[in-house]
Amino acid sequence: MSSRPIVPRTGLLWVLLLLHACGGGSGGGSGPPAPEERTNIILIIADDLGYADLGVQGSPDVLSPHVDSLAAGGVRFTSGYVSSPECSPTRAGLMTGRYQQRFGHEFNPPRPPAGFGLPLAEITLAETFKAAGYATGLVGKWHLGSEAHFHPLNRGFDEFFGFLGGSHSYQDWSSDPADPVVRDFVPVVETTYLTDAFTREAVSFVRRHKNEPFFLSLTYNAVHRPLETPPRRYMDRFADVADLKRKKFLAMLAAMDDGVGAVLDAVQAAGAGQKTLVIFHSDNGGPTSLNTSLNTPLRGEKEQLWEGGIRVPFIVRWDGRLPAGLVDDRPVVQLDLFTTALAAAGVAPPDDRTIDGVNLIPYLDGTNPGEPHATLYWRSGSLSAARKGNWKLVNDGQNPSQLFDLAGDIGETTNLAHSRPEVVSELEAELATWQAELVPALW
């Protein structure tokens, strides 16, 4: 076992965290369910996966039967968003349930070992689960800071197997000495294809913790660059694909999909299928020009606030508790997964700060037929956007705002700003009010 440098928290913050996690921060109550009844949470994040890069999302060439099975057994959001068009800010928002611009985590941090990461004053999803008695594990990509105080084991995770930065070789684990693959704090070198190694570790985590409530964050770096050829068994599935770049992408995605299937099989083998909430989404839209990912029929790609940069595959499954095969077009955002996961586990979120995520369960089980959000917002540097109902406002910081009706124009092809100036004014005012609550970017 490796020694673990611990960064102490302030006494008040840690006491508040414990109270919130046990249900004591919201006026008491009966507390969380007994351990044998508590819901497990498995969060699976794909990296740079495009909106159209799943079979269930309409792709003609992708083979993704296991992720597709999540949608068949759960809820697929066709207007599922992330709060950033980049990797790290999306993860910061997910881990806190808060628009990451509230605490300055607006862009990807510099590469390791630069001293930037998720601010220590933020309470993470893992910390909240850990304080509530859950086993917590992270397998895969972190991208929320590389120095010791930002390390996953100092942000609520009991176990970590993965890398700290934004990308990594799948084949040469020693290719980046500044950002090695580590188990907890200790570098590990293998010849295993990295996606397969992440799957192995995730399956191991489920098996080892099957008799206690657990939170597993499985953050694949697939299908982020580099496009490195996976084992032959994956490449052979796409023998008819002539474009080598696309063929590698499809094979890398197939490796990840097989990994999802192995984790689901482990859950079923543990007899935990009906007490496990499984969530799958991509961290941002696909960078088509870099990895051949497809965002069809959306406009734009990663690093943009067009739909192709922020609308992503987004699936939630909880056997016996949520509908199977439901397709829901109400706008939701990855911030909601923080609150939803805690609600499923009977754990209260922090109440000493703004939590932007909404508990989606009442909207999915028929309790609440309304809309989870009145308006969703984005800011990435000079770029900003807002969606209210089917209206989408986009501003690049230099030109007049553009307005689109997504109900009939999902591809954002027809700017309606001139014909509906009152909608532009309304959304610009709402966006300005939201931005007044934010802080400047930290880097």
Give me the catalytic one of 20, 143, 209, 281.
143
User: Which residue stretches of 111-238 are H helix?
Assistant: 125-131, 194-208, 232-235
418 is catalytic: no
The residue assigned the tokens 């044998």 is 36
For the chain, give me the number of helices (H) and strands (E)?
Answer: 12, 16
Burial of 55 (0-12, 13-18, 19+ CB in 10 A): middle
Give the pair of three-digit tokens for residue 176: 């980046």
The answer to whether 162 and 141 are in contact (CB under 8 A) is yes
Give me the catalytic one of 87, 105, 168, 373.
87
Residue 92: which of 154, 150, 148, 35 has the closest Cα?
Answer: 150
DSSP 416: -
Beta-bridged to residue 315, according to DSSP, are 76, 280
87 is catalytic: yes
The answer to whether 88 and 111 are in contact (CB under 8 A) is no
Residue 207: which of 175, 244, 170, 159 has the closest Cα?
Answer: 159
Distance CA(198)–CA(200), nearest Å, equals 5
Burial of 262 (0-12, 13-18, 19+ CB in 10 A): middle
Cite the beta strand spans of 188-320 per DSSP E. 214-219, 276-282, 314-317
Distance CA(401)–CA(135), nearest Å, equals 47
Give me the half-sphere count of Cα atoms (radius 13 Å) on the Cβ side of residue 125.
31
The answer to whether 204 and 139 are in contact (CB under 8 A) is no
The catalytic residues are 87, 143
